[in-house]
Chains A and B, each alone.
Chain A
Amino acid sequence: MSIEKRLLTLTINGQKVGPVDAPVGMPMIDFLHEHLDLTGTRFGCGQGICHACTVMEIQPDGIPIETRTCIFDAHFFNGKTLITIEGQAKRDEHGEVSDLTPIQQAFIEHFSFQCGYCTPGFVTAATVFVESLKRQPVKRADLQSRIETALNDHICRCTGYVRYYQAVQDVALKTPGCVID
């Protein structure tokens, strides 16, 4: 029995991928790990529940959304643009990380994570959330509950979420235009 394959083309972290033969039904996370060696995206429950495998999808209008990579196959993203955890920070000409994103920096400063397994998913969710605040600011009084709603789907088994949420609050308050009184 041969594996059914199809051609796949998409953009990941600014690089065009493909056209490449990819098996039908291969979860996107396996494609990232096995075909592209992008192993930063974490495989957790494999059932779309824990959201550890979440990456960012840039919609045609430029607005980023969260998307899970364990429940959809690679072809689901054909023609689309993704940013994985490897594509978040700025890199220098040698490909080394030069500047972390404000969210990544805040997670480190707040000691938001311990084992780090859920962190790529949280970076994605928090970045999508802060971007949404830039388009539609939130009242200061509503910020905490909005953070909770935005990150609610993401499961962390180490730190009890508080430090993640505080870090995101910190970034939202420091980023001009995110919070109004």
Chain B
Amino acid sequence: MKRNRLRNGLVSFIVVAVLLALAVLLGVFRPSTVAPGVQQPLTDAQTRELLPRGRELALAGNCMGCHSLPQGPRGAGGVPIDTPFGTLYSTNITPDKTYGIGNYTREDFHRVLRDGIAPGNRNLYPGMPFVFTHITRPEDIDALYAYIMSLPSIAEPNVANTGVFRLPVRPFMNFWALINFPDRQPPVREGASEQWLRGAYLVEGLGHCGACHTPRNVTMGVSFARSLEGGDVVDGLVVPDITAQTLAKRGFNTTSLSEYLSSGISAQGTAFGSMYTVTHFSTSAMQAADVDAIASYLMTGKDGQLLKPEKAPEPLPAASDTPLQRGRLSYFSACAGCHGTNGEGIPNVAPPMNGNIAVVMDSPVNLLTIILQGVPTQTFTGNQRMYAMPGFADRMSAEEVAGLASWMRAQWGGQGKAITAEQVEAIAPAK
């Protein structure tokens, strides 16, 4: 008798679990959260009026940064996004009816940005930052829709995803969403200025800064509790912490941070890696008021006050000690010609090293990667450009690079721990 009861209990538990799993798989827990009234198409007059606003928001979201190949047609997709499970390719978001999103209704578009679900109940992979765009207000989604539907159609077929994404795994994203897709709202704070609210809305929403700058959990979901604390590796580079406290420690204030975002250039270094595409295509093209709002939000501490910039670290005594002198001499041999004997850099040629974030960061990975691989020529706002930095992987030994980085970090980064040759050798060679 008792055994039967146990067995029946187990059977019903399994049945319930299977039913629940099926329900999750079928998306029962992902109902539409689109605003009421979006079933109605936008009128021509509405569309016209919304266009400028949509353009600004598309820039803030840097939609075209991921949805266009470098030098490729705008919005036609095809950009590879590597994951441990295979490569995803960004899709064609031009209004082409065959290959793009030309058949999306206003409601379809809202569902994508709010819920990450495309027509036909297709779950988007979280390469699309819908956990961020979720907080976008209905009138702003309308503006984006109006703008994107006004772009030239490009008949470019989508590239097939590879690896596990070749299999019908989209429904399983419902499990992922159950754990990693909280119902977030635009941030509010008592007594906050309009500027702060605007900055918060852009940073935490469409701007999706946290997609790279917030660490991810084991299931690759965004750890919102550790917002903007950085630390993950994107394209071989460690993403820096951009909390207000850390930005202030690096010497930023609202003005200088805003200048960095709108030009890509700061006293703390120039944008490189993935951030270069952000400053180049997105923040440098946005309206000054929005960039100021973003800077102001990012520089506001937990107590609601704007944080004041701190001084760059003083040289550590170790920088003058014998063991690091080889590194100092390497700097004078290979680097000082452009970056200056005092690490002051040359405008339009090479960024300063004195207080440079790659030098100051706890992790030496970015500094080492740049020394080894170099940086290609980059253009910045106002016809400014930084000429290519050569990589030194073939011209300096791992010991030399380690010594060089150790001295630079002690001299300008306030980092006393010496870098080892093994750390240098662990950096992947340039692609």
Q: Which of chain A's residues have a CB closer than 8 A to the CB of B329?
A: 6, 24, 75
A48 to B389, CA, bound (A): 9
Contact flags B314-346 to A (C-beta < 8 A → 1, else 0): 000000000000000100111011100100001
Contact flags A4-17 to B (C-beta < 8 A → 1, else 0): 00100000000000
Is B338 a contact of A71 with CB atoms below 8 Å?
yes
Min distance, Cβ A7 to any Cβ of chain B, angstroms: 12
Min distance, Cβ B84 to any Cβ of chain A, angstroms: 35
A73 to B335, CA, bound (A): 9
Q: From residue 213 to 268 of chain B, which have CB atoms closer than 8 A to chain A?
A: none
Min distance, Cβ A19 to any Cβ of chain B, angstroms: 16
Min distance, Cβ A90 to any Cβ of chain B, angstroms: 29
Q: Which of chain B's residues have a CB closer than 8 A to the CB of A75?
A: 329, 332-333
A15 to B332, CA, bound (A): 25
Is A76 a contact of B387 with CB atoms below 8 Å?
no
Is B333 a contact of A72 with CB atoms below 8 Å?
yes
Is B332 a contact of A27 with CB atoms below 8 Å?
no
Is A48 a contact of B332 with CB atoms below 8 Å?
no
Min distance, Cβ A171 to any Cβ of chain B, angstroms: 26
A101 on the B face (CB < 8 A)? no
A49 to B389, CA, bound (A): 10
Is B387 a contact of A73 with CB atoms below 8 Å?
no
Min distance, Cβ A10 to any Cβ of chain B, angstroms: 13
B349 on the A face (CB < 8 A)? yes
A24 to B387, CA, bound (A): 24
A6 to B326, CA, bound (A): 12
Is B341 a contact of A47 with CB atoms below 8 Å?
no
A112 to B186, CA, bound (A): 64
A70 on the B face (CB < 8 A)? yes
A18 to B338, CA, bound (A): 27
Q: Which of chain B's residues have a CB closer than 8 A to the CB of A176?
A: none
Complex: chain B residue closest to A46, CB-CB: B337
Is A70 a contact of B337 with CB atoms below 8 Å?
yes
Is A73 a contact of B333 with CB atoms below 8 Å?
yes
A56 to B62, CA, bound (A): 44
Q: Which of chain A's residues have a CB closer than 8 A to the CB of B333?
A: 25, 72-73, 75-76
A47-B332 contact in complex given A27-B337, A71-B338, A73-B337, C-beta closer than 8 Å: no
Min distance, Cβ B184 to any Cβ of chain A, angstroms: 47
Is A73 a contact of B336 with CB atoms below 8 Å?
yes
Complex: chain B residue closest to A47, CB-CB: B349
Q: Which of chain B's residues have a CB closer than 8 A to the CB of A71?
A: 337-338
Is B334 a contact of A72 with CB atoms below 8 Å?
yes
Complex: chain B residue closest to A74, CB-CB: B333
Q: Which of chain B's residues have a CB closer than 8 A to the CB of A47?
A: 338, 346, 349-350, 387
A72 to B387, CA, bound (A): 15
Min distance, Cβ B274 to any Cβ of chain A, angstroms: 25
Is A48 a contact of B338 with CB atoms below 8 Å?
yes
A71 to B349, CA, bound (A): 11
Complex: chain B residue closest to A76, CB-CB: B333
Q: Which of chain B's residues have a CB closer than 8 A to the CB of A48?
A: 337-338, 387, 390
Complex: chain A residue closest to B387, CB-CB: A49
Q: Which of chain B's residues have a CB closer than 8 A to the CB of A6?
A: 329
Most buried by B among A25, A27, A70: A25
Min distance, Cβ B296 to any Cβ of chain A, angstroms: 36
Min distance, Cβ A134 to any Cβ of chain B, angstroms: 21
| The one of B341, B346, B390 that contacts A25, using a Cβ cutoff of 8 Å | B341
Q: Which of chain A's residues have a CB closer than 8 A to the CB of B332?
A: 24-25, 73, 75
Min distance, Cβ B404 to any Cβ of chain A, angstroms: 12
A47 to B345, CA, bound (A): 11
Contact flags A162-179 to B (C-beta < 8 A → 1, else 0): 000000000000000000
Q: Which of chain B's residues have a CB closer than 8 A to the CB of A49?
A: 349, 387
A72 to B396, CA, bound (A): 13
A76-B334 contact in complex given A6-B329, A47-B349, A48-B387, C-beta closer than 8 Å: yes
Contact flags B44-74 to A (C-beta < 8 A → 1, else 0): 0000000000000000000000000000000
Q: Which of chain A's residues have a CB closer than 8 A to the CB of B334?
A: 72-73, 76
A114 to B329, CA, bound (A): 39
Q: From residue 390 to 406 of chain B, which have CB atoms closer than 8 A to chain A?
A: 390
A52 to B295, CA, bound (A): 42
A27 to B338, CA, bound (A): 11
Is B336 a contact of A25 with CB atoms below 8 Å?
yes
A25 to B343, CA, bound (A): 13
Q: Which of chain B's residues have a CB closer than 8 A to the CB of A73?
A: 332-334, 336-337
A23 to B205, CA, bound (A): 55
A25 to B329, CA, bound (A): 8
Min distance, Cβ B330 to any Cβ of chain A, angstroms: 8
Complex: chain A residue closest to B339, CB-CB: A71
A164 to B53, CA, bound (A): 51
**14 more CB-based (< 8 A) A-B contacts, given A27-B337, A73-B333:** A24-B329, A25-B333, A47-B338, A47-B346, A47-B387, A48-B387, A49-B349, A71-B337, A72-B337, A73-B334, A73-B336, A75-B329, A76-B333, A76-B334
Top 10 closest A-B pairs, CB basis? A71-B337, A76-B333, A25-B332, A73-B333, A47-B349, A49-B387, A75-B333, A24-B332, A25-B336, A76-B334
10 contacts between A and B (CB under 8 A): A24-B329, A25-B332, A47-B338, A47-B346, A47-B349, A47-B350, A48-B390, A49-B349, A72-B333, A76-B334
